Chains A and B, each alone.
Chain A
Amino acid sequence: MTRPATADIAEMSTALLNARRDRVPIPPLTDRFPDMTADDAYAVQQGLVASLLADGDSIIGYKLGLTSRPMQEMLGVDQPDYAPVLGSTVYANGGTVPSDLYIAPRMEAEICVILDAPLSGPHCTAAEAWEATRGLVAALEIVDSRIEDWKIKLPDTVADLASNGAVAFGSQVVPLGDFDPALLGMVFTRNGDLVATGAGAAALGGPLDAVAWLANTLHHLGVTLPAGAIVMTGALHAAVPFSRGDVFRADFDRLGPITLRVS
């Protein structure tokens, strides 16, 4: 029996909770349960989130992961994944990230969508996502893995909050208008050196396609995206490892810049 039983799922949620708290990574869950499914993994994630909420945290929105084809090919999947974004993990624009809060952190620049109206599946389109959008915000995500050395298969990262660590948002919410969010350009620098560039289409073809995918996927769980929810739509480039003293800046066309420093 290489699929986890209910007790195993609860045990994995607890192991991930402890790994987050103690900053000590654990072996891949799929080492012990090679046949673990994505559904099993989301059950682990839900258990983990329930514990975090019981500790006083909140859900402010969602993040998508595995949104680019290179990442999907690396993990041998043809779908992204998602996890809630927690209220306790938000940094201010210009803020300082203590690197010792994380295990093996990496930085990503992405477009964040803020909803104005509730959005639900099962047949949500990018056009409906557009209608429900208040605006776009420049964002950074710190991804981290509570799994040793990022040795993740799909169920490992799904269970581990889609490898979410923390987020930060730019200072302006820019309404949609006479531009295509899929073409929004982004220039990413570390300590002033160019490390990556990208455009909105890198994540699932565009930010609003990403939101529609999320709304449809959450529908299966009976969840509606509420008004005001934020959606981190996925990295526009390969994630960048960082170390103490680094200053990251993502400069988005139309959305402006966002900066984080690492201490």
Chain B
Amino acid sequence: MSTLDHDAAVERLTNAVRELTATTPLTEHHGHFDIPTAYDLQARVVAHRLEQGHRVIGAKLGLTSEAKQRQMNVEEPLYGWLTSDMRVEPGSPLIVNQFIQPRVEAEIAFLIGDDLEGDDIGAADVLAATAAVMPAIDVLDSRYAGYSFTLPDVIADNSSSAGFVTGSVLVDPTGIDLRLCGVVLEVNGQVMATAAGAAVLGHPAASVAWLVRALARRGEGLEAGMTVLSGACTAAFAVSPGDTVVARIDRLGTVEVPCR
């Protein structure tokens, strides 16, 4: 039997955020726990941010590529919640020392136009309910040293959610095949990685549809106005003060953030 102490586990993660100090995986202290329990812990970690006056403004997906799923020995992606304190406004810098070990990824972001919920939602439903798509930079920050964790650990850690920047031009996805759109991640003018939208579960909208179905299991959904980061198209890269990170996505435009 698991001897998981929920309070202690949540405190370990919230302390790591407050003290900007990496911790060790919960599973090392509390033994293995299952995925639904991991999402229970995640809900409490997110609630802790809300108690500090922040709002939930969206969600993000992780482990959306087959390569990463194989690496973690799982067959599903995972998700976390984005809160208002995680948003970096266009033109503002990413303050590196507000994170423990930040890494950046290029993603396609969806601005949800109509509430989306249900266990039968597909990619076409997502596209129909999407107000706009944008290029995005996802800023990960695992609260576990060296990004070393098991699947329940990372889910409890809100799927490493820490920050994000979206492009400031809203693009109507009608008539755009997001599957084929080219994605380029540059750091300081160097091409770090390239991809196409299909890198995310075959299609970024399929990834968002998976999220909606996963949320339905917990009686939750996406609300109009939320931003969803559909999953990394590229590998993640560590950033340092002075770096400039640029994500360029064909047909969607460019998003850029300087690191201070």
**Residues 145-187 of B at the A interface (beta carbon under 8 Å):** 177, 179-184
Is A205 interfacial (CB-CB < 8 Å)? yes
A sample of 24 cross-chain residue pairs with beta-carbon separation below 8 angstroms, ordered by A number, consists of: A69-B191, A182-B182, A182-B248, A183-B248, A183-B249, A184-B182, A185-B183, A185-B196, A185-B197, A185-B250, A186-B182, A187-B179, A187-B180, A197-B196, A197-B197, A198-B196, A199-B194, A199-B250, A201-B182, A202-B194, A205-B191, A253-B177, A253-B181, A253-B250
Closest chain-B Cβ to A16's Cβ sits at a distance in Å of 32
Contact B194 A253 (CB under 8 A): no
Contact B250 A197 (CB under 8 A): no
B179, B191, B249: most-surrounded residue (chain A CB, <10 A) = B191
Closest chain-A Cβ to B47's Cβ sits at a distance in Å of 37
Interface size class of B (residues with CB under 8 A): 20 to 34
Q: Which residues of A contact B (CB under 8 A)?
A: 69, 179-180, 182-187, 194, 197-202, 205, 236, 251-253
- Shortest Cβ-Cβ A-B pairs, 10 listed: A199-B182, A185-B182, A185-B196, A253-B180, A183-B250, A199-B194, A197-B196, A202-B194, A183-B182, A187-B198
Measured CA separation A194–B195 after assembly (Å) = 12
Q: A179-B250, A205-B191, A253-B250 are in contact. Are A200 and B182 (CB under 8 A)?
A: yes
Partner of B184, one of A69, A194, A201, A253: A201
Contact B191 A185 (CB under 8 A): no
Measured CA separation A69–B248 after assembly (Å) = 18
Cβ of B250: which chain A residues have Cβ within 8 Å of it?
A: 179-180, 183-185, 199, 253
Q: Other than the known A201-B191, A253-B177, what 6 A-B pairs have Cβ atoms closer than 8 Å?
A: A180-B248, A182-B182, A184-B182, A187-B179, A187-B198, A197-B233
Cβ of B183: which chain A residues have Cβ within 8 Å of it?
A: 185, 199
Cβ of B191: which chain A residues have Cβ within 8 Å of it?
A: 69, 201-202, 205
Measured CA separation A138–B115 after assembly (Å) = 40
**Residues 204-251 of B at the A interface (beta carbon under 8 Å):** 233, 248-250
Q: Which residues of B contact A (CB under 8 A)?
A: 66, 177, 179-184, 190-191, 194-199, 202, 233, 248-250
Contact A253 B182 (CB under 8 A): yes
Cβ of A202: which chain B residues have Cβ within 8 Å of it?
A: 191, 194
Closest chain-B Cβ to A131's Cβ sits at a distance in Å of 22
Cβ of A201: which chain B residues have Cβ within 8 Å of it?
A: 182, 184, 191, 194, 248
A182, A184, A199, A201: most-surrounded residue (chain B CB, <10 A) = A199
Contact A198 B195 (CB under 8 A): yes
Partner of B196, one of A69, A180, A182, A187: A187
Measured CA separation A201–B182 after assembly (Å) = 9
B184, B197, B202, B249: most-surrounded residue (chain A CB, <10 A) = B184
Closest chain-A Cβ to B190's Cβ sits at a distance in Å of 8
Closest chain-B Cβ to A80's Cβ sits at a distance in Å of 14
A194, A197, A201, A236: most-surrounded residue (chain B CB, <10 A) = A197
Measured CA separation A185–B197 after assembly (Å) = 8
Q: A199-B182, A199-B184 are in contact. Are A194 and B249 (CB under 8 A)?
A: no
Contact A194 B198 (CB under 8 A): yes
Contact A185 B180 (CB under 8 A): yes
Closest chain-B Cβ to A51's Cβ sits at a distance in Å of 37
Measured CA separation A251–B250 after assembly (Å) = 15
Contact A183 B198 (CB under 8 A): no
Cβ of A205: which chain B residues have Cβ within 8 Å of it?
A: 191
Measured CA separation A52–B82 after assembly (Å) = 61
Cβ of A180: which chain B residues have Cβ within 8 Å of it?
A: 248, 250
Measured CA separation A205–B189 after assembly (Å) = 10
Q: A185-B196, A194-B198, A198-B196 are in contact. Are A252 and B184 (CB under 8 A)?
A: no
Measured CA separation A252–B196 after assembly (Å) = 9
Measured CA separation A183–B190 after assembly (Å) = 14
Q: A183-B248, A184-B250, A187-B179 are in contact. Are A197 and B195 (CB under 8 A)?
A: yes
Measured CA separation A255–B249 after assembly (Å) = 17
Measured CA separation A253–B180 after assembly (Å) = 5
Measured CA separation A182–B184 after assembly (Å) = 8
Closest chain-A Cβ to B256's Cβ sits at a distance in Å of 15
Closest to A236 in B: B194
B180, B182, B190, B195: most-surrounded residue (chain A CB, <10 A) = B182
B181, B198, B248: most-surrounded residue (chain A CB, <10 A) = B198
Closest chain-B Cβ to A49's Cβ sits at a distance in Å of 31
Cβ of B195: which chain A residues have Cβ within 8 Å of it?
A: 185, 197-199
Measured CA separation A53–B197 after assembly (Å) = 43
Measured CA separation A199–B194 after assembly (Å) = 5
Closest chain-B Cβ to A138's Cβ sits at a distance in Å of 11
Closest chain-A Cβ to B90's Cβ sits at a distance in Å of 20
Measured CA separation A186–B181 after assembly (Å) = 8
